[in-house]
Amino acid sequence: MSKLVVCGGNQLEGEIEVQGAKNAVLPILAATILNGGKNIIYNCPDLKDVTTTVEVLKKLGCHVRRHEKTLTVDSSQLNSDTIEESLMRQMRSSIIFLGAIIARCKRAVVSMPGGCEIGNRPIDLHLKALRELGVEIRENHGYIYCDAHEMTAANIHLDFPSVGATENVMLTACLVPGTTVITNAAREPEIEDLQSFLNRMGAKISGAGGDVIRIEGVEKLYGVEHTIIPDRIVAGTYLIAAAMTGGSIVLRNVCPRHMQSSINALRDMGCELYTERNRIAISPAKSLKALSMIRTMPYPGFPTDIQSPFMALCTKASGSSMFVETIFENRFQHVEELVRMGADIRIDGRVAVIRGVPGLSGAKVVAKELRGGAALVIAALAAEGVTEIDGVGFIDRGYEHIEKYLSSCGGNIKRKD
């Protein structure tokens, strides 16, 4: 697996065009199998998770072509309703295909997705909601067998506003006669993007972005064109990297409305941010202030995905910061690696307390999951000396060519295979 070699100390200066959102494109690619038509998706990021999702589409019989940031998916020749274990284990978010396969094929066989680096990632909310839509589900030998010949619209209340479960219900219900209502739905912007993609293909869905989503089933859906929204987590990561190095950058192709909690936190730390419709500019804080208490929450609360990048920034802030990770049970794996670089962080269960130190020092560290890996890159950019980051494959799952974007703004970062 390749590694990143970072020589810290350069201030980031320049402009970055932010990639399309990983967590929008994955469910939208799954949705292409609903219409049996030709779909053109623009602003598609070049990520490992997208490559894996394309592999699943091809295994199901779809024809997929990529030209730069445009993906064309023709799902007319779909010839399978099964996703085998090796693919499900490669990317647990493949569970998002379940709803789409059921809606198109009226049956589905998928392997249990299993856990991942940040937690055991249960799917009980997905299965409970699908059963309420009339899907018969049997679990056996690590596989889930779904029979959906008698589906009915339903009022579905999610015990937790699960992003994936909300998306799976939207994908399944859009072809089920009657009106399905989801209450306590997840409100992430990626769900709004999925709604606009589905409505473009002829679905009748309303309410995404709020906690009540209505889906009126239709008979047929059609191939569409769509542009993926900007990635709010990648955008936030680059703003934090600039703040960490005392630099000033401008982000293009962003949606400040999707990033309010990150923008507020950076301002609370003393950074200056200027936002326009689809641009954000950041100037460094004179001295970084600690974040007294950050609690990760479902959107529009503080995103769990940006917790570790912000923690890296807090290692240098004056004072003590506290993070409470309420969403995933194992999302502090970056802490021991930051401590190797000289950070002062203590963990107790889901609480981490960070006491600011004057500076970090370069070290050999290992990325153990996607966003924690990004946190190590951020720390390395400001550390004294050289940092080697192993496990770059995790970072590549969600960040498109991270070293190219950061080098273009003056970061001294290289990929070594």
In sequence order, what are the residues at sequence separation of 6 or more whose Cβ sits closer than 8 angstroms to the Cβ of residue 160?
125, 184, 298
Structure tokens at 13: 């200066």
What's 98-148 look like in SS3?
HHHHHHHHCEEEEECCCCECCECCCCHHHHHHHHHCCCEEEEECCEEEEEC
CA nearest to 168, candidates 155, 178, 182: 182
Closest residue to bound ligand EPZ by CB = 164
Under rule CB under 6 A, residue 391 binds ligand EPZ: no
The residue from 81, 231, 305, 390 that contacts ligand EPZ (CB under 6 A) is: 305
Under rule CB under 6 A, residue 177 binds ligand EPZ: no
The region of 22-30, 210-218, 343-351, 382-390 touching ligand EPZ under the rule CB under 6 A is 22-30
Catalytic residue among 62, 105, 116, 174: 116
Under rule CB under 6 A, residue 26 binds ligand EPZ: yes
The DSSP string of 278-337 is SEEEEE--SSPBP-S-EEB-STTSB-GGGHHHHHHHHTTSBSEEEEE--S-TT--THHHH
Residue with tokens 């299965």: 127
Under rule CB under 6 A, residue 131 binds ligand EPZ: no
Under rule CB under 6 A, residue 302 binds ligand EPZ: no
Q: Which of residues 352-371 bind ligand EPZ (CB under 6 A)?
A: 370-371
Under rule CB under 6 A, residue 295 binds ligand EPZ: no
What's 48-98 look like in SS3?
HHHHHHHHHHHHCCCEEEEECCEEEEECCCCCCCEECHHHHHHCHHHHHHH
Residue with tokens 């409970």: 128
**Smallest separation (angstroms) from ligand EPZ to the CB of 144:** 12
Cβ pair 403, 380 in contact under 8 A: no
Under rule CB under 6 A, residue 296 binds ligand EPZ: no
Under rule CB under 6 A, residue 93 binds ligand EPZ: yes
The residue from 20, 45, 113, 164 that contacts ligand EPZ (CB under 6 A) is: 164
| 116 a catalytic residue | yes
- CA-based angle 411:416:417, to the nearest 5? 150
Under rule CB under 6 A, residue 104 binds ligand EPZ: no
**44/363 with CB nearer ligand EPZ:** 44
**64/370 with CB nearer ligand EPZ:** 370
The region of 39-47, 115-123, 132-140, 404-412 touching ligand EPZ under the rule CB under 6 A is 115-123
Under rule CB under 6 A, residue 122 binds ligand EPZ: yes
The region of 54-62, 117-125, 212-220, 275-283 touching ligand EPZ under the rule CB under 6 A is 117-125
Under rule CB under 6 A, residue 304 binds ligand EPZ: yes
Exposure string for 335-368, b = 16+ CB within 10 A, e = fewer:
bebbbbbbbebeeeebebebbbbeebebbebbbb
- Phi and psi at 376, nearest 5°, equal -65, -35
Under rule CB under 6 A, residue 163 binds ligand EPZ: yes
The region of 50-58, 162-170, 252-260, 281-289 touching ligand EPZ under the rule CB under 6 A is 162-170
- Name the site residues for ligand EPZ (rule: CB under 6 A): 22-23, 26, 93, 119, 121-126, 160, 162-165, 186, 304-305, 327-328, 370-371, 398
Please give the positions annotated as active site: 116
